[in-house]
Structure 1
Amino acid sequence: MTEVVTTDDGISGGRSLRPLSGLLAAMAVSLTGTRVSAIALPWFVLATTGSPTQTGLVAFCEMTPYVLVKAFTGPLVDRAGPRVISWSTDLASATAAGAVPLLHALDLLSLPLLLTLVALIGAARGPGDLAKEVMVPEAADRSGMPLERAAGLAGATERLAATLGPAAGGSVVALFGPLTGLAVNAGCFVLGPVIMLLTLPRGMGQAAENVPSPHGATELGYWKRFGEGFAFLRGEPLLRTITVMVAITNLLDTAFSTVLMPVWARASGHGPAVIGLTSSVGGIAAIAGSVVAAAAAHRMRRRVVFFTGFLLAGAPKFLALACHAPMWAVLVVFAVGGFGSGFLNPVLGAISFERIPRRLLGRVNALGDSLAWAGIPLGGLIAGAAVASFGLVPVLLAGGAAYFLTTNVTGLRPEWREMDRLRERGVPAQRPTADERAPHGDLTA
């Protein structure tokens, strides 16, 4: 890994910020287009078919390939290089997204064809998002920026797209119709590679260097590369514990946003408008948290920041709704929680980039991200069944307790000490592979 030369405030000493700013701009337009599509596509299906079932089926057909394909394309990202994977998958997504309004205008768009196109979009998005993520540490190196700051800016970019994208998508759909929203999505996928072409240095985002294995082989087949990433993740107690923890919190967050929050909004009489209000308050606060994290997180102790962020972002929102708190208090809880959540991704990103060797970054991150997302499809199903069986308040209390235990009591495990120890020792990102280290113990429940 290239040594990062910084001044006292973490800003590069004479290095250009163009590589990182160009990558973040490409991420921003891609993520914003995805958020616009998340409004336009369901509305298009609902408006043309009138079927909530088909609308849900379309969403399922996009997210399932996203998770599955992303899990298995890590070796390809490492082998071909994240830059090639990023622009090629973005162009594939643009083609599939642009085909939807075109085929509809020609009266050729059947439901099976729509589901196929949506599945192609999801299958291409997974590797594309992964490839951009993999390029963050190299962009930080070239810009002379600490990993926490670069990861914080990437997190702020994602939060900004998640906040502004739905608003832009809703406006475009309301003014021009859902097909225009899908065309905007396709345009964003085209714009991303153009930005990367114009801003990134020619040698950035190339394939990871082949490092000889203990047996002397330099070229590994796909499944051996995949197995090498799996073995590395299995041999990293801290990364495995983080993955399990985030998978549980993702499940709980999905249950909260898709079922518990809407049920509370209806039962309390506030109506659907409060869902958008709390989401906006939390999103804006999360952007602020990400910006602060980008500026100051590299000066803080990671473990304290990490668990404080989860303490603010997790259980309080469940308890506020369960206790029938007044609306102003609910908004305060969402604002404080959003601010705390803004600090999480910078810490997680820095740990990942430091502990995983560059040549394994794609395949390990692909596996870790996919495992962390594995509970998302189950969150709404579990929450819906639980509310039907036990009622809203008991499920909110149980969810808050589960969130607290998952994110705080698990912090007593010894591997969490590695969060700060690695940085204190100044260990660079290029660490030995799992085969070159003594194996660690298995993760226990």
Structure 2
Amino acid sequence: MTQGTAHDTASGDRLQPGSRLPLGGLVLAYGISQLGTAMSGLAIPWLVLVTTGSAALTGLAGFAEMAPYVAFQAVSGPVADRAGLRRSCVTGNAAAAVLVGAIPGLYALGALSFGPLVALVAVAGAARGVADAATSPLVPRTAAFGGVSNERAAGMNSVAQRTGMLAGLPLAGVLIAAAGPAVVVLVDAATFAIAAFGILILIPSAAVRVSADPQPDSAGPPAARGYWPQLRAGMAFIRADRLIAGIALMVALTNLLDQSLSSVLVPVWVRVRLHQPVGLGLIGGALSIGLVAGALAATWLGRRLPRRVTCAVGFLLGGSPLFIALAVWSALPPVLIVAVLSGIAAGVLNPIIGAVTYERVPPRLQASVLGAFRSSAWIGIPFGSLLGGALTEGIGLRNALLATGAAMFAATLVPFVFPAWRGLDRPAGNYSGAAERPS
């Protein structure tokens, strides 16, 4: 048992194993925070775009938020484990609520210039990184406490994320048009506060001490002690497991391109071709409808899905088609149809990837490995905003969409080519051997 887990068990919880309340509470809190995040993900770029008129500054603002988020998620796993997963998750969300809430406060006072905005989103991104480094290992632990399979738990978590986006993106478009982007950012701050309170109340500390590892700790190498040894152990596990490393690299490439689309290319497309911010919400909402449908299908079908084939097709059809649709069409209806279909294909991915990582990573390493894995997969996101802004200003919107769409198509061919991805369909082996016998 890690020190962080022991710390989390200080209180005398009476909730009995088998209760699904902790997993449900975690999923609910995550969904609420994603609702606000989806809204501010549109509101902040739109706020920068309409106040500066610069696609490059819009991309810079996205970079300033996501770079600290990815960095702190990578290095906060051992800290979250030592301080307590539940406590770290609550503290990170609460800090993000305060920092994000300062943005509309300064805006109302007429004191929000680009510099303070960038500083606030950067520190808030760091706080969110700490919270999410703790959230990832809480999913399999609360699932084990409730007797829920990894596929089902990962699917529920993905559905919560997708549902938050489904509600948040169109709502953001409407509220931006009706009340302005600052109000939308204020709502985001409120959702972080609600998530922090929900985790504190609905997830008793007893739930986080459950180990999903069917083998005793002595079956593998002992958990590293101390910050740097734990961090090195997590990174070493990822490097040794070729499937986990391949998934992280693949998702890093696709996330980089997706971020350039969502944070810069779509807002510029909407502003130039539609001239109405409601289009932001409609496109995001259509994509989210598909993502929720795909995630629900993956959650329901669970282990019956052929993992490798499903992931390969999901990446391919969920990637480049939307880029090409935006490059080809100026009308909204065909773009919305493509967004829904692409979302369905992409929605099946997270439940499968989540289940695979929960199975292959031993609980004693989950805080370090899952945080490092998630940040490795997200490492391209900050640069995606910069890429989208630079390409749009350098070669124009249509050419930027075609270039990023072609790159996405090439990246999504990886699961069809590299043999390490065959490990998706292999039965989960023993946890202790995953790093020593990589796929």
**What's the CA shift string for 1:254-274, capped at 9, x where partnerless?**
33344555666677x555565
C-alpha contact (below 8 Å) 1:23/1:136 kept by paired residues: yes
**Aligned residue number for residue 427 of structure 2:** 422
Instruction: Indicate whether 1:431 and 2:432 are aligned.
Output: yes
Deviation of residue 228 (structure 1)? 0.8
* TM-score, with structure 2 as normaliser: 0.81
Picking from 352, 355, 360, the partner of 1:355 is: 360
**Aligned residue number for residue 32 of structure 1:** 35
Cα distance in 2 between the residues matched to 1:96 and 1:381: 23
**Aligned residue number for residue 235 of structure 1:** 240
Picking from 118, 125, 138, the partner of 1:135 is: 138
Cα distance in 2 between the residues matched to 1:365 and 1:175: 40
Instruction: Indicate whether 1:64 and 2:67 are aligned.
Output: yes
Cα distance in 1 between the residues matched to 2:43 and 2:148: 37
Matches within 5 A, 1:5-154: 15-41=18-44, 52=54, 58-100=61-103, 114-154=117-157
**Aligned residue number for residue 368 of structure 1:** 373
Aligned-pair Cα RMSD in Å? 3.7
Picking from 247, 257, 261, the partner of 1:256 is: 261
**Aligned residue number for residue 331 of structure 1:** 336
Deviation of residue 414 (structure 1)? 1.7
> Which letter does structure 2 place at the counterpart of 1:148?
E
Deviation of residue 322 (structure 1)? 5.0
Picking from 309, 314, 317, the partner of 1:312 is: 317
3-state SS of the aligned residue for 1:307? helix
C-alpha contact (below 8 Å) 2:77/2:368 kept by paired residues: yes
Identify if the C-alpha distance between structure 1 residues 93 and 259 changes in structure 2 by more than 3 Å, giving closer, same or farther.
closer
3-state SS of the aligned residue for 2:432? coil
**What's the CA shift string for 1:46-86, capped at 9, x where partnerless?**
78x66757766554432221121111111112323321110
**What's the CA shift string for 1:312-338, capped at 9, x where partnerless?**
212333344455598654433222111
Moved more, 331-340 or 377-386: 377-386
3-state SS of the aligned residue for 1:220? coil
> Which letter does structure 2 place at the counterpart of 1:352?
T
Whichever structure has more helix as a proportion of its residues is 2
**What's the CA shift string for 1:134-165, capped at 9, x where partnerless?**
21111222222221221111111111112222
> Which letter does structure 2 place at the counterpart of 1:431?
S
Deviation of residue 305 (structure 1)? 1.2
Moved more, 198-207 or 172-181: 172-181
C-alpha contact (below 8 Å) 1:43/1:178 kept by paired residues: yes
> Which letter does structure 1 place at the counterpart of 2:21?
R
Deviation of residue 385 (structure 1)? 5.0
C-alpha contact (below 8 Å) 2:256/2:381 kept by paired residues: yes
**What's the CA shift string for 1:3-39, capped at 9, x where partnerless?**
xxxxxxxxxxx94331221111111222223234345
C-alpha contact (below 8 Å) 2:99/2:123 kept by paired residues: yes
Deviation of residue 236 (structure 1)? 0.6
Cα distance in 2 between the residues matched to 1:265 and 1:176: 18
C-alpha contact (below 8 Å) 2:42/2:263 kept by paired residues: no
Residues paired across the two proteins, number: 419
Deviation of residue 396 (structure 1)? 4.7
Moved more, 373-382 or 347-356: 373-382
Moved more, 179-188 or 281-290: 179-188
Moved more, 171-180 or 58-67: 171-180
Instruction: Indicate whether 1:343 and 2:348 are aligned.
Output: yes
* TM-score, with structure 1 as normaliser: 0.80
Cα distance in 2 between the residues matched to 1:65 and 1:418: 32
Identify if the C-alpha distance between structure 1 residues 338 and 393 changes in structure 2 by more than 3 Å, giving closer, same or farther.
same
Deviation of residue 237 (structure 1)? 0.3
Q: Bigger radius of gyration, 1 or 2?
A: 1
> Which letter does structure 2 place at the counterpart of 1:117?
L
Cα distance in 2 between the residues matched to 1:240 and 1:180: 40
Deviation of residue 115 (structure 1)? 4.3
Instruction: Indicate whether 1:166 and 2:166 are aligned.
Output: no
- The share of aligned pairs that are identical, in percent, is 39
> Which letter does structure 1 place at the counterpart of 2:241?
E
- Unmatched segments (≥5 aa) in structure 1: 2-13
Matches within 5 A, 1:263-412: 269-271=273-275, 274-321=279-326, 328-383=333-388, 386=391, 396-412=401-417
> Which letter does structure 1 place at the counterpart of 2:164?
A
